[in-house]
Amino acid sequence: MPTPSRRRVLAGAVSGAALAAAGCSRSDVEVRRGTLRSRHVPGRDLPWVLAMPRDRPVARPPVVVLHGKGGHGEQALDLLHLDDHVAATGLAVAAVDGGNGYWHRRDDGTDSGAMVLDDFLPLVADAYGATDRVAFLGWSMGGYGSLLLAAALGPERVAAVAPLSAALWTSPGASAPGAFDDREDFEAHDVFDTARRRVLRRIPVRMACGRDDSFAAANRAFGEALPSARVAIDAGGHTGDYWREHGGPQLRWIRSVLDGRASA
């Protein structure tokens, strides 16, 4: 029998199916929207969006997109315009509102990362297809979250990770207010951690960050700590324009990994 939380997720999938392609004029992309309830983020209806190719004879691993601080799941489409690249890459993109908790368990009892893994992935599986393999793409807070959740799931489940302008810090004292509850919280969820880097070495990682971005130095440092990752520091800042310009190339890279055309 499904758990109560699971039933709420399935209800969200049904409501999303009823909204198929709402607000989408493209004939080659199907968009579904809905809400889910999760015990990990209690008391809230969490909006989600799923954009997938209409013609999908092969159900490739979906790309889970994690938004930045102050953002929401719909920005995967209305800010990054990832739906413009869905048909060309053959990849579905799925995003959900995760609040501002940096995609991990917090002292207030919320855990948006667990919500993604326990509730959102099963919903995507019902609406799109199996999620035994997924890829992650995120920007800013979501870039950090994509690395964190990929390390949690491991290479058996994660095909690729493509962070943009990842919100990374090399020490607890350097982190932004509210990103972590305290030093212990930072250390428990530090993607520079040796064990997490050991896992991420086995997953293709491609990072991009603007050289005028305040996170550029930490992204470079992460690339040095994880030499298997591809880290591009190029022109731009911590802006929607940068994420929009780089979102399509990140999706195309994920597709090349799935096709075996990109090295790990």
Q: In the chain, where are the structural domains located?
A: 4-258
β-pairing, 29-36 with 46-53? antiparallel
- Is the pLDDT assigned to residue 30 strictly greater than 80? yes
| Domain 4-258 annotated CATH 1.10.645.10 | no
Token pair recorded at residue 156: 């058996």
Confidence bin at 8 (pLDDT 50/70/90) = very low
Q: Give pLDDT tens digits for 159-188.
A: 999 999 999 999 999 999 999 999 999 999
**Res 26: pLDDT:** 73
**Res 263: pLDDT:** 53
Q: Give pLDDT tens digits for 204-242.
A: 999 999 999 999 999 999 999 999 999 999 999 999 999
Note the Cα 159 to chain centre separation in Å.
13
d(CA 167, CA 170): 10
Q: Give pLDDT tens digits for 72-123.
A: 999 999 999 999 999 999 999 999 999 999 999 999 999 999 999 999 999 9
Whole-structure pTM over 0.95, yes or no?
no
CB environment 97-108: b (16+ within 10 A), e (fewer): bbbbbbbbbbee
Q: Which residue, among 51, 115, 121, has the nearest Cα to 82 in the 3D structure? A: 51
Q: How many CB atoms lie within 10 A of CB 116?
A: 26
Q: Give pLDDT tens digits for 48-86.
A: 999 999 987 778 999 999 999 999 999 999 999 999 999
DSSP secondary-structure letter at 182?
Answer: S
**204 within 8 A of 226, measured Cβ to Cβ:** no
**Res 144: pLDDT:** 98
- Is the pLDDT assigned to residue 139 strictly greater than 70? yes
d(CA 97, CA 259): 30
**262 within 8 A of 204, measured Cβ to Cβ:** yes
- Is the pLDDT assigned to residue 11 strictly greater than 90? no
Instruction: Name the burial class of residue 221, with classes exposed (0-12), middle (13-18) and buried (19+) by CB atoms within 10 angstroms of its CB.
Output: middle
d(CA 27, CA 24): 8
User: Apex CA 69: angle with CA 234 and CA 178, to 5°?
Assistant: 115
Q: Give pLDDT tens digits for 189-203.
A: 999 999 999 999 999
**Res 244: pLDDT:** 98
